[in-house]
């Protein structure tokens, strides 16, 4: 399964780079740490840089047996990055970088199994509109056995660029995703939504874990 070879590849690199350090278990790495290894230019070879504008570049390089490509604004990773198997050319991972609180943040990531998204080991969200009803669905990895999980969406609702409301939605938990539904305020136009989903849970060793996904969406009328 491609995604596991991809994960193991950069874990071996971490170990080789930190021979004299106490290495924490990869399950304890957050998503930024987890994916920073294969997307770090210092760990790539045969790097190609294509200039998009004065500050934005497209990056393409090799990490072990994987093609890594994405975008950098100055020295910061931005937007969507992808990893492909260099032999089969099939996609094995895709991740979205955002810059939050002056730090690179992996907002969403997809791991692929036979060209399909592995929803049990990915972190992402979907948005569906049915009339005046909006449904946000947030997928989080089941890498841990979670106890007492809860998820909330804090969001700002805008109409014609003006903030109409700032609310919190308590999400309903299913196996590996949370659902949050709310209605569009009446007479809203040129709608946009900004906010963040937050999952809090406890794992078997008693530690507390969390996941965050930032949302920023514009609805087509």
Tell me the domains of the chain and their CATH numbers.
Answer: 2-117 (no CATH), 124-218 (2.60.40)
- The pLDDT assigned to 36 comes to 78
Would you call 118 helix, strand, or coil by DSSP? coil
Q: How many CB atoms neighbour CB 15 within 10 A? A: 12
Q: What is the DSSP string of 50-107?
A: EE-SSSEEEEEEEETTEEEEEEEETTEEEEEEEEEETTT--EEEEEEEEEETTEEEEE
Residue 148 has pLDDT above 90, yes or no: no
Q: How many Cα neighbours within 13 Å face the side chain of 169?
A: 22
Residue range 33-56: average pLDDT? Answer: 87
Can you give the C-alpha Rg of the chain in angstroms?
19
In which band, very low, low, confident or very high, does the pLDDT at 17 lie, cut at 50, 70 and 90? very low
Q: How many CB atoms neighbour CB 180 within 10 A? A: 21
Residue 13 has pLDDT above 60, yes or no: no
In which band, very low, low, confident or very high, does the pLDDT at 4 lie, cut at 50, 70 and 90? very low
Residue range 197-208: average pLDDT? Answer: 86
- The pLDDT assigned to 11 comes to 38
The secondary structure of residue 64, as a DSSP letter, is: T
- The pLDDT assigned to 220 comes to 74
Residue range 131-145: average pLDDT? Answer: 89
For the chain, what percentages of helix, strand and coil (3-state, to nearest 5) are there? 15, 55, 30
Residue range 132-153: average pLDDT? Answer: 89
In which band, very low, low, confident or very high, does the pLDDT at 53 lie, cut at 50, 70 and 90? very high
Residue range 94-99: average pLDDT? Answer: 93
Q: How many CB atoms neighbour CB 217 within 10 A? A: 15
Average pLDDT, the chain: 83
In which band, very low, low, confident or very high, does the pLDDT at 203 lie, cut at 50, 70 and 90? confident
Percent of the chain with pLDDT over 70: 84
Residue range 197-210: average pLDDT? Answer: 86
């Amino acid at each position: 399964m491609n995604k596991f070879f991809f994960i193991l590849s950069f874990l071996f690199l971490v170990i080789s780079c930190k021979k004299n350090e106490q290495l924490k278990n990869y399950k304890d790495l957050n998503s930024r740490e987890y994916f920073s290894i294969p997307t770090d230019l210092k760990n790539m070879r045969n790097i190609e840089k294509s200039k998009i504008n004065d500050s934005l570049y497209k990056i393409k390089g090799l990490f072990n047996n994987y093609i890594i490509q994405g975008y950098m604004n100055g020295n910061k990773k931005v937007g969507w990055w992808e990893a492909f198997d260099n032999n089969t050319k099939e996609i094995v991972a895709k991740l979205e970088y955002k810059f939050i609180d002056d730090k690179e943040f992996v907002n969403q990531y997809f791991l692929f199994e036979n060209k399909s998204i592995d929803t049990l080991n990915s972190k992402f969200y979907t948005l569906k509109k049915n009339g005046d009803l909006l449904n946000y669905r947030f997928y989080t990895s089941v890498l841990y056995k979670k106890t007492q999980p809860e998820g909330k969406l804090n969001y700002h609702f805008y109409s014609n660029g003006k903030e109409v409301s700032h609310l919190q939605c308590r999400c309903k938990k299913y196996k590996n995703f949370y659902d949050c539904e709310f209605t569009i305020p009446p007479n809203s136009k040129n709608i946009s939504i900004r906010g963040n989903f937050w999952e809090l849970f406890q794992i078997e060793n008693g530690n507390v874990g969390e996941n965050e996904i930032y949302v920023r969406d514009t609805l087509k009328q």
